[in-house]
Structure 1
Amino acid sequence: MAGKHAEEVSEPAAEVLFDEVLFEKRGRLGIVTLNRPAAVNALTAGMASAMLKQLKRWADDDAVAAVLVRGAGGRGLCAGGDIVAIYRDMLDGGHATADFWAEEYRLNSLISGYPKPYVAFMDGLVLGGGVGISAHGSVRIVTERTRMGMPETTIGFVPDVGGTLLLSRSPGESGTHAALTGAHLSGADALFLGLADHFVASGRLAELAVALESETADAAVGRFTEQAPPSALAQQQEWIDACYSGDDAEEILRRLRSFEGESGGEGAREAAGAADTIAAKSPTAVKVALESLRRVRGLSLEEALGQEYRVGLRFLAGPDFREGIRAQVVDKDRTPHWQPATLAEVSRDDVESYFAPLGGRELKLASKESDHV
């Protein structure tokens, strides 16, 4: 397998990296398999670069009618970017991470306008960067095992990979809730948020993959799609919309803690729980994430990625992103020391500084016409 896809990609010097993402053709289907099962297929710079190159080749290959992306190991499609690698790089200045994000965002942009059906099996864990390589596709499939989310505020960061744009388009304020809490979402919730299109039982994905080798994506997926269960998030819309409107994070927390509503005690308990969750996140990340969601409305994906890149580089230079990864993944003490420690200490000027132009460091994305063919 390694020899086969190394030959297709034609990059012998990077052959070791290709063991982490496998490419093959079966019938008229091009298959991308993320292959770091021990890390729930966490995305590395080499994986993003290899995917970008191979997807461009398949876009021009008349023998490939559709593309499928899936994860090896059974635990999930992709648990996000390799944040341990990012942590180590931050200790060394963060330059490799900036380059990784630029390549990853180019991949997200390519996927969003891909000229052939791009089918994503969003089974198991689909977090952060995993959302970026799936939710921008044209055929997005979730299952009863899906646990999706943009949990960046937990590690002192904000949703990226176009996630701010996706969540800004979700019904009401449900995307704001998902972004600020970083909550894990079911497949039904992902459908409600607009992050997925179809629900298929996980036990039938292998059969669907075989069908995609010879059938059109519409025909194959149509035969396997089932009715999704109810979305818990949709049922919480009353308090979510009531509490998350507006641009003031402190006011949002106040509303969450004081909510009563027509649904009675259950809604109040859910709202109070959301407030406690947000209060434990990085105050800077919460305020910048909220501002990101408000500013991204009406932007194209490429403009959104440019904004996220600006914000991301500012977080690389600040204390909270590094501290969040340390607390959650490196030392695992789960007690991050945020700087500043409270929402009140994060000023409006502080927030706006994350969106200031980067000058010569701005993200450069090729036009869709030249980048996607």
Structure 2
Amino acid sequence: MTEETTAASPAAGPADEVLFERRGHLGVITLNRPKAVNALTLGMVGAMLEQLTAWADDDGVATVLVHGAGDRGLCAGGDIVAIYQDMLAGGKEAAGFWQNEYRLNALIAGYPKPYVAFMDGLVLGGGVGISAHGSVRIVTERTRSGMPETTIGFVPDVGGTLLLSRSPGEAGTHAALTGAHLSGADALFLGLADHYVASGNLPALAAALETETADAAVERFAEKPPASVLGGQRDWIDSCYASDDAEDILRRLRSFHGEAASEAADTIEAKSPTAVKVALESLRRARTLTLEEALAQEYRVGLRFLAGADFREGIRAQVVDKDRNPQWKPASLHEVSAADVERFFEPLGDRELNLHSKEARNV
């Protein structure tokens, strides 16, 4: 979720925040909050759910394209200051936002038509959720993607735990625990994207999608990507992150005697110890889950973080006060017990997220 948001303010509406249009047989979704790097709001999520549902049954729409307005990126996630304010008020709006956002993620993953995402510029948190579940995922030389949730005392969501659990070797574990920003080549290596296209060619590709099939259009513009830096580090990543114990992973990183491994250890030690351990457990459990099950698990975990201290403290330190000095509680990995981690995964009873219910399918 990092950088996800809660409901829009009463004065705000989805009409200007997300735009829909038909160009030939292409349905175009434009996230339209460029000053906020197209951060998602509840209104935007609801509008996308409604429009995508309508286009799924529209014979005049053969392909759907999602891209971001402005030149900074597709979507940096959302307004985490709004989440901070909502947590101070009880966290009810954030929970409602996640319910709808996760339904949107599931709809995109099972969409019956080519869903093309231009993952240009920043694509973080919730931006990954509306792109990496699509069927045609385009990255560029400008792509900076990732799931940086542990930086603010949270864990990857929007189906990110499932996506990263299926990345080659332990690369997804490294990406989740460190929250690293990833290049387009790294996103391809991790399985978060499919094709590499020069950013300057995206307008021409979009125009081609109006009349051509997605496969034909993308084939004309796709290029060979540069080598993935992350892919070239598989030796130490697979070795150090092979453990299911966060403290053991840290010990392995420290003993590897490599600069990159040492930097990863420093990065993880600066994150919320609770978030690190819960993120690791979330990824391990997601290996055997469907997307719907992973989203339900992420919702369960997310509500527990809403009620805790680290999520609020992480946003305060990074975004509100900007002192970059969060006071995590507990402050070290060894203080976070297995029982503490297990509590994040306990059933929610009648509050469980049910993406298969009639209510979940209705927008």
Q: State the TM-score, normalized to the length of structure 2.
A: 0.95
Match of 1:331 in 2: 321
The structure 2 residue matched to 1:315, chosen from 305, 309, 315, is 305
Question: How far has the Cα of 1:15 moved from its partner?
Answer: 8.2
Counterpart mapping for 1:134-173 below 5 A: 134-173=131-170
Match of 2:271 in 1: 281
Match of 2:51 in 1: 54
In structure 2, what is the Cα distance between the partners aligned to 1:286 and 1:98?
A: 22
Paired residue type of 1:191: L
Paired residue type of 2:353: L
User: Any unmatched runs of 5+ in structure 2?
Assistant: 1-9
The structure 2 residue matched to 1:186, chosen from 167, 183, 191, is 183
Percent of pairs with identical residues: 77
**Residues 247 and 294 of structure 1 are in contact (CA less than 8 Å); yes or no, is this contact kept in structure 2?**
yes
**Residues 165 and 173 of structure 2 are in contact (CA less than 8 Å); yes or no, is this contact kept in structure 1?**
yes
Question: How far has the Cα of 1:246 moved from its partner?
Answer: 1.4
Question: Could you list the per-position Cα deviations for residues 230-265 of structure 1 after superposition, in whole angstroms to 9, with x for gaps in the alignment?
Answer: 0000000000001001111001000001104xxxxx
Match of 1:10 in 2: none
In structure 2, what is the Cα distance between the partners aligned to 1:253 and 1:18?
A: 47
Question: How far has the Cα of 1:82 moved from its partner?
Answer: 1.8
SS at match of 1:103: helix
CA 1:14/1:215 → structure 2, altered by over 3 Å: closer, same or farther?
A: farther
Match of 2:282 in 1: 292
Question: How far has the Cα of 1:184 moved from its partner?
Answer: 0.3
Question: Could you list the per-position Cα deviations for residues 258-316 of structure 1 after superposition, in whole angstroms to 9, with x for gaps in the alignment?
Answer: 104xxxxxxx1100000000000000000000000001112100000000000000000
Paired residue type of 1:348: A
SS at match of 1:30: strand
**Residues 13 and 43 of structure 2 are in contact (CA less than 8 Å); yes or no, is this contact kept in structure 1?**
no
In structure 2, what is the Cα distance between the partners aligned to 1:102 and 1:254?
A: 37
Match of 2:94 in 1: 97
Question: Could you list the per-position Cα deviations for residues 301-346 of structure 1 after superposition, in whole angstroms to 9, with x for gaps in the alignment?
Answer: 0000000000000000000000000110111110000010000100
Match of 2:3 in 1: none
SS at match of 2:230: helix
Cα RMSD (Å) of the superposition? 1.5
SS at match of 1:227: coil
Paired residue type of 2:55: W
Paired residue type of 1:250: E
Paired residue type of 1:96: E
- Residues 1:250 and 2:240 are matched in the alignment: no
Question: How far has the Cα of 1:372 moved from its partner?
Answer: 10
Match of 2:193 in 1: 196
In structure 2, what is the Cα distance between the partners aligned to 1:308 and 1:65?
A: 32
- Residues 1:35 and 2:32 are matched in the alignment: yes
SS at match of 1:19: helix
In structure 2, what is the Cα distance between the partners aligned to 1:349 and 1:304?
A: 21
In structure 2, what is the Cα distance between the partners aligned to 1:64 and 1:87?
A: 39
Q: State the TM-score, normalized to the length of structure 1.
A: 0.93
User: Any unmatched runs of 5+ in structure 1?
Assistant: 1-12, 261-267
In structure 2, what is the Cα distance between the partners aligned to 1:18 and 1:181?
A: 36
Question: Could you list the per-position Cα deviations for residues 145-197 of structure 1 after superposition, in whole angstroms to 9, with x for gaps in the alignment?
Answer: 00000000000000000000000000000000000000000000000000000
**Residues 59 and 372 of structure 1 are in contact (CA less than 8 Å); yes or no, is this contact kept in structure 2?**
no
Question: Could you list the per-position Cα deviations for residues 104-159 of structure 1 after superposition, in whole angstroms to 9, with x for gaps in the alignment?
Answer: 00000000000000000000000000000000000000000000000000000000
Question: How far has the Cα of 1:17 moved from its partner?
Answer: 2.2
Match of 2:7 in 1: none
Match of 1:263 in 2: none
Paired residue type of 2:135: S
Question: How far has the Cα of 1:85 moved from its partner?
Answer: 1.1
Match of 1:64 in 2: 61
Paired residue type of 2:331: A
**Residues 301 and 344 of structure 2 are in contact (CA less than 8 Å); yes or no, is this contact kept in structure 1?**
yes
Question: Could you list the per-position Cα deviations for residues 61-104 of structure 1 after superposition, in whole angstroms to 9, with x for gaps in the alignment?
Answer: 11100100000011000001221111111110000000000000
CA 1:207/1:46 → structure 2, altered by over 3 Å: closer, same or farther?
A: same
Match of 2:210 in 1: 213
